[in-house]
Chain A
Amino acid sequence: MNPVAWGLLAQVVLAVCAVASALATRGHVRNVLAGSACAGVAGAGAVTGMSVLAGGTVAVQVTTALPVPPMVLAPDRLGGLLMLLVGAVGVIASVYAIGYVHGASASRTQWAALALFLLGMQLVPAAGDVVAFLLAWELMAAASTVLVLAEHAHRHTVRHAAVWYAVMTHLSFVLILAGFAALSAAGGSTSFAALAGTGTAGAGATVAFVLLTVGFAAKAGLVPLHVWLPRAHPEAPSHASALMSAAMVSLGAYGILLVGVRLMPDAPTWWAVLLIALGAGSAVYGILHAGVATDLKRLLAYSTSENLGLVVAAIGLAMLLRTHHVPGAASAAIVAALLLLVSHAAFKATLFLGAGAVLRATGERDLDRMGGLVHTMPWTAATFGVGSLGAASLPVTGGFVAEWTLLQALIHGVRPADRVVAVVVPLTLGLIALTAGLALVTFVKAFGIAFLARARSAAVLGAREAPWSMRVPMVLGALGVLALGLLPGPVAAAAASAVGAEGARVAGLGGVELTGVGAVLSPAALVGLGAVVALPALVLVLALARQRPATADVLAWGCGGVRTSPRMQYNATSYAEPVMRIFNDALQPSRDVVVTHLAESTYHAERVRFSQRVDDVVEARLFRPLVAAADALAERARRVQNGSINRYLGFSFTALVAVLLVVAG
């Protein structure tokens, strides 16, 4: 039995232990025991993933009661990479949970669900056939639903969020099931190994691709199937949000990779264009909503659908370029997709854990009521800051390298002769650039408003720094973000090998070289250069600082020294106001201004109340009408079943006559 098999076994066993310890013990003991067991599950997943990446293979067969081929667990390298990703996020999230959970989120159900959630997520990339994939997928879905429900007894919003989540996730399952059914009908088997390289000609393959893409897009939170994200993430406990947003959605992208890269490699152009449109659209839409969001976790949720949009766009780009014979750039694009996925996992986990720490310390999710937390929660502030840098894809973080790789693919993918590429590539470039720019605003806002300036509400003043058990995972996450940014070479190489593309290899100082397009980036060297040029300035700074220390107790500028009250600061809403105004038509906020005039004169206002809400346009214009229509239909159907036995007999009579006419005709 080889390491991979052992790893898979260990995951299952540890998961069982975690569930057992969650059910058996109580109080703090439960948190510690179950938490460490969950961390163990995730760790086993990470190790398994590594050994798969290192070339280990295995095919575990699980038989069922039905006369179908047995379920197979046979992770390939890509699966290994995802397993590693999920496992890594799982470890820090589990450790974090030990210190974080309290009240409802510390119940035995929640811990058991967490363990099963981790197991499901790590088995999805291990699945080697359709049935096993669907099984793990549903395990993941069910467990995550339970996690979202943690606070159901305290907030009514939780219930609606959970119902939305359950239905959307089942929609995704149903689409995937149908898609795989179509695929296995076209390919004549249910095992991925046999399906690999299924021809893309013919209606069957097309139907399969479309169904699967949409299904996985729903799980990846792509517009317009993203509606569950901004609802579920704020309601779920933060470690769960981190797992869902960093790990689970990545599996949606994995599904698209599985279909588009492994199962049906030679995609027609329009498949690729579909993916690019889907991805770029979600990226812009997601980041716009993130930019104007004031609920911190909602902001992070929308940024998730932005980042997954970028990933899917990169995948589509890779497919397009491969179909149009630009192999070098294509491999760069696919590497970019994986780098984006990995770095997103790192910084999104960090950010959600940070948001959780703030929530735990202040009870606030609303940015407009935060501020000045850098003084009370320095560790959280630092890690959240690093995460924000990553999310804004600035040097030197993983996001920066990933976006650089993507742009290299775009710039070197130029084919003036080929009209499709000639049109698609620059448009994609523009959209991605806009996304990157808005991401910058969004995360400057998130960090600056939450942690800098002065407290905007009393609750924030009393904030206390998170305990070590929560700090350590946050720091680990931040380190991960920086490591991905400083030494991207190995990751890029692993990613390239995962998709079997000779796309990238390590170049000096842990830098990355995109062999396909002959571009090199060594962030470490960049940092070195920066240090060299900044050295004189630093020396000067320190010298002056010793010579003449600053006086740090003056009033801030208030047009003549009036000490401004904290309510006069810019808050998240006002910070996003320019963006809101520019993209008014896309966001369609509902504002209302209530002016109460003074009794004496209507020229002087006594009070002005301004309130603004941004509803999700897709939800309001697409899903709510859909639900309403379904309900109306159902109401009409209820009237048909009106209780009159004569009518019921009439049904049977009609059926009888119909059948008679059919059989005798």
Chain B
Amino acid sequence: MSVAPLVVALVQVTVAVAFAPLVVGVTRQTRARLEGRVGPGVLQPARDLRKLLAKTPLRAAGTSPVTVVAPVVLLTSSLLLAALVPLVAALPLSLVPGDLFVAVSVLLLGTVAIALLGLDAGSAFGGMGSSRHMTISALVEPTVLVSVYALSIPVGSSALALIVAARRDHPASIASPAGVLAVVALVIVVIAETGRLPIDNPSTHLELTMIHEAMELEQSGRDLAWVDLASWLRLSVLLGLVGNLVLPWGVAGSAGFGPVLLGALALAGKLALLAVLLAAAEVAMAKLRLFRVPELLAGSFVLAFLAVTASYLVA
């Protein structure tokens, strides 16, 4: 495979790793401000990370190697995701398609890792969180694939890079009913996958309401650092993807230094915007009861399916 896209991919990864804590920081800070608190500042997540890395991890007795390996696997999957999704530049890798199915599978690999992590300690909460998390990601899967199908119809390919490029070159297709519906569906998916409101409350401290947090109850020190970083990466990468789908401008079409830099800056802008929007939305929203979640996801599936039918009209 040619080297340029590979380099770009690595650049993307580093950019994503750099941005991820900031994105989370921005959301938390915005929430704090909207809720009338001062807030810890945008850099707090980064500081937390540093502190955690310096701490000795504690592991529950009777845990298996899974507890050791899972956080790293989770992190790897997130990093790989960052490499596959077009964030800074839309350059398809020759042998590894930036196919959304591949991306989702990589994502799910991480999901499975954290689900097993939750089970490993043998505490009731871990199992609870893992079960709920897996159920939700199972229900999310149809929406993802159908919406990608809808997006790929006009392009004739399921490679994300090509889809984004196509939308950048023909902005008309962004506003097309198919595109809009598909993106909305995707947004819901992203919220579900990253455990944000209204599906999961990332800032809860009540075990019984936890989904994502419940699985990392047992983690501490660097283990927790990897898990946190990984989930932040997920959030920012998926937000970045949505951003590039909605506002594809600035995404680099070639591997030159200029375009990539521009792309990175554009990405920063989009991420900041989306983070603020997300926080604002979360403030305005209450958490859904767990067993109303399927309704939401069914709704998103319907949107995606409508997107498909709509795409037939335009295509």
Contact = CB atoms under 8 A, between A and B. Distances in A.
Query: Do the two chains touch directly in the complex (Cβ atoms below 8 Å apart)?
Result: yes
A447 interface: yes
7 contacts: A375-B62, A404-B102, A422-B312, A437-B139, A537-B79, A556-B123, A566-B122
B43 interface: no
Contacts of A652: none
Interface stretch (B24-32, B141-149, B259-267): B141-149
B124 interface: yes
Given A529-B80, A554-B59, 9 more contacts: A414-B149, A429-B146, A433-B145, A440-B108, A454-B122, A556-B122, A569-B127, A581-B291, A582-B135
B153 interface: yes
A434 B10 CA distance: 33
Contacts of A9: none
A661 interface: no
A509 interface: yes
Nearest to B148: A411
Nearest to B297: A582
A570 interface: yes
Interface string A402-445: 01100110111010100000100010011111101110110011
Interface string B282-315: 0000000011001000000100010010011001
Name the residue in B63, B148, B223 with the highest tally of chain A Cβ atoms < 10 Å from its Cβ: B63
Contacts of A441: 134-135, 138
3 cross-chain pairs, A with B, having the tightest CB-CB distances, nearest first? A570-B127, A437-B138, A437-B141
Nearest to A521: B97
Interface of B: 1, 6, 9-10, 13, 53, 56-66, 68, 72, 75-76, 79-80, 82-83, 93-97, 99, 101-102, 105-106, 108-109, 111-112, 115-116, 119-128, 130-132, 134-135, 137-142, 144-146, 148-149, 152-153, 156, 158, 207, 217-218, 221-223, 226, 290-291, 294, 301, 305, 308, 311-312, 315
A454 B62 contact: yes
B83 A433 contact: no
> SS class of chain A's interface: helix, strand, loop or mixed?
helix
A408 B60 CA distance: 44
A48 B127 CA distance: 48
B266 to A, nearest CB: 22
Name the residue in A392, A438, A454, A555 with the highest tally of chain B Cβ atoms < 10 Å from its Cβ: A454
A52 to B, nearest CB: 31
B116 A525 contact: no
Interface string A545-565: 000111111111111000010
Contact of A544 (B1, B53, B76): B53
B59 A569 contact: no
Contacts of A529: 6, 9, 80, 83, 93, 96
Contacts of B9: 529, 533
Interface residues of A, number: 85
Contacts of B94: 508, 520
Interface stretch (A213-221, A474-482, A571-579): A571-579
A407 B135 contact: no
A574 B140 contact: no
A410 B149 contact: yes
Contacts of B138: 434, 437-438, 440-441, 579
A283 to B, nearest CB: 12
B61 A555 contact: yes
A570 B128 contact: yes
Contacts of B127: 453, 569-570, 574-575
A530 interface: yes
A430 B80 contact: no
Contacts of A111: none
A392 B60 contact: no
A434 B135 contact: no
Interface string A119-158: 0000000000000000000000000000000000000000
Given A434-B142, A437-B139, A444-B116, A557 B153 contact: no
B96 A525 contact: yes
A578 to B, nearest CB: 4
A449 interface: yes
A533 B80 contact: yes
Nearest to B119: A448
A534 B75 contact: yes
Contacts of B226: 537, 541
A430 B150 CA distance: 12
B252 to A, nearest CB: 19
Given A394-B105, A448-B116, A550 B152 contact: no
B112 A416 contact: no
A453 B60 contact: no
A577 B145 contact: no
B108 A394 contact: yes
A412 to B, nearest CB: 8
A358 B139 CA distance: 31
Interface in A361-417: 371-372, 374-375, 389, 392-395, 400, 403-404, 407-408, 410-412, 414, 416
A441 B131 CA distance: 8
A507 interface: yes
A66 interface: no
Nearest to B66: A452
A550 to B, nearest CB: 4
A557 B125 contact: yes
Contacts of B65: 374
